[in-house]
Amino acid sequence: MGQAFSRRTALAAGAAVTAGLAVPGVARAGQSGSVRFTLDAETLDGGEQVTAVTLRTGPVDPASLTPGMFSVHAKATSPIGTGGQDIGYDLDRPVTAARLDHRGDVVLELSHAEGQPGGSTLGYLEGRGRNVRLDLVYTITQNAPVRLRHGRPVTFPSFTQGGLRNPEADAFTYHTSRSGMKYRLYSPASHHGERPLIVWLHGGGEGASLPDGYYDNETTLRANRGALGFATREAQSIFGGAYVVVPQSTSAWMDDGPRFAPLIHEIIREVLRTRPADAGRVLVAGCSNGGYMSLKMTTVYPETFAASVPICGVVAAREPGGPPLLPDAELAAISTPTWLVTSRDDDTVDPEANTVHAHELIPRSRLTLYDEVVWNGHRFPGHWSWIYVARNDPSSGGTHVWPWMARRGRASREPK
């Protein structure tokens, strides 16, 4: 991945602010007496955004803090060539509140919302069909002194950017399989007894871009909440604690499903060997490209999975007149309990030719067909129906999708 150099100094109320070498998501600099700060991020449904900045100031008087006391500027650039596409930004981030955290450090809350530009940690390269983590350089300007707990006013000499912190994404550990496929793994807080293993297969925009040397093993947790939903307290309670494994494709699953299937299966076997996960309760879910791959996995390894939740997946031909990605005979032979999800207004993957068609062929499958994708009053593109699965929203016969998954189980307890 490429590196960008940027050095900027801002002077206000005697405070100098410096940011140096930029690597994906982090800018590093070193200066005596400098206050280090972290970028605090959250993965929204529309992608990860930096929502706050935490200044490692030590205890200050909370009564002395105001939102206007500090200014925040953000610059984002692509780590790889964009072919002329502008996916970055260079702007001021409005500070909406200033408070202290439990350590007494200053937290600057930043304006953010679904679809709001300027806070994203990702950029989408249309020519490659990929999200990439942006190189972020944040500049802090102190506009007025703050008071320490003993009452002395202070203007900090400078601010040095540290890392990007997203507690949900950071809870997944980093791994590489023997064959070289990268994956992230969430482990439940309790390890007593064997736990279910949930396999999340990402969409097409979250794979690697190997020609650019870009294979980050992080975009899968930052582009949407598909995998993170299963690691929430609510989901973990329903599943009784579950492992969540998130392989990252070296391109896109649909590019070569038959080749990727055994690589994913190798990761599943690796987790089953090294963790107290239940081989009889391996569950697979995925969106878009990953929806296709969820179905493909159950056709190649019918004895491995206790349940499958393909979301807005592709089964039809990719090109007019071409062969279907999943022939009707393969769909009709699926024996894994399957719950399909899509939205009628999906203009990326035709819901009738793909999800509805698969439902008509897969024996005893369930289908949740939404009219549109709306959550918390915000309307998303119709293709983004994974938002509902990440919230345990799909229901059928009085049962929601997470409890339905949690109750599935294979008789065999050996990895197939």
Identify the pLDDT of residue 192: 73
Identify the pLDDT of residue 9: 29
CB 401 within 8 A of CB 385: no
Taking each helix axis from N to C end, the angle separating 289-300 and 257-274, rounded to the nearest 10 degrees, works out to 70
pLDDT-derived band at 24, boundaries 50, 70, 90? very low
* Residue whose tokens read 């950029």: 123
Percent residues over pLDDT 70 in the chain: 91
Nearest to 210 by CA among 164, 246, 255: 255
Identify the pLDDT of residue 202: 98
Per-residue pLDDT reduced to its tens digit, 96-108: 999 999 988 999 9
Whether 410 shows a pLDDT value over 80: the answer reads: no
What residues have CB less than 8 Å from 89, skipping those under 6 apart?
A: 74, 75, 76, 117, 118
Residue type for position 249: S
Whether 299 shows a pLDDT value over 80: the answer reads: yes
Domains detected in the chain: 8-165 (2.60.40.2180), 169-406 (3.40.50.1820)
Per-residue pLDDT reduced to its tens digit, 146-202: 998 777 899 999 999 999 999 999 999 999 999 999 999 999 987 678 999 999 999
More confident residue, 33 or 401: 401
31-45, 227-241, 307-321: range with lowest mean pLDDT: 31-45
What residues have CB less than 8 Å from 82, skipping those under 6 apart?
A: 123, 125, 127
Whether 26 shows a pLDDT value over 70: the answer reads: no
Per-residue pLDDT reduced to its tens digit, 237-296: 999 999 999 999 999 999 999 999 999 999 999 999 999 999 999 999 999 999 999 999
Per-residue pLDDT reduced to its tens digit, 351-377: 999 999 999 999 999 999 999 999 999
Whether 400 shows a pLDDT value over 80: the answer reads: yes
Identify the pLDDT of residue 33: 75
Identify the pLDDT of residue 3: 30
pLDDT-derived band at 406, boundaries 50, 70, 90? very high
What residues have CB less than 8 Å from 314, skipping those under 6 apart?
A: 254, 288, 289, 291, 292, 325, 349, 354
CB 5 within 8 A of CB 77: no
Token duo for residue 58: 């030590």
| DSSP per position, 234-259 | HHHHHHTS-EEEEE--SS-GGG-HHH
Whether 70 shows a pLDDT value over 50: the answer reads: yes
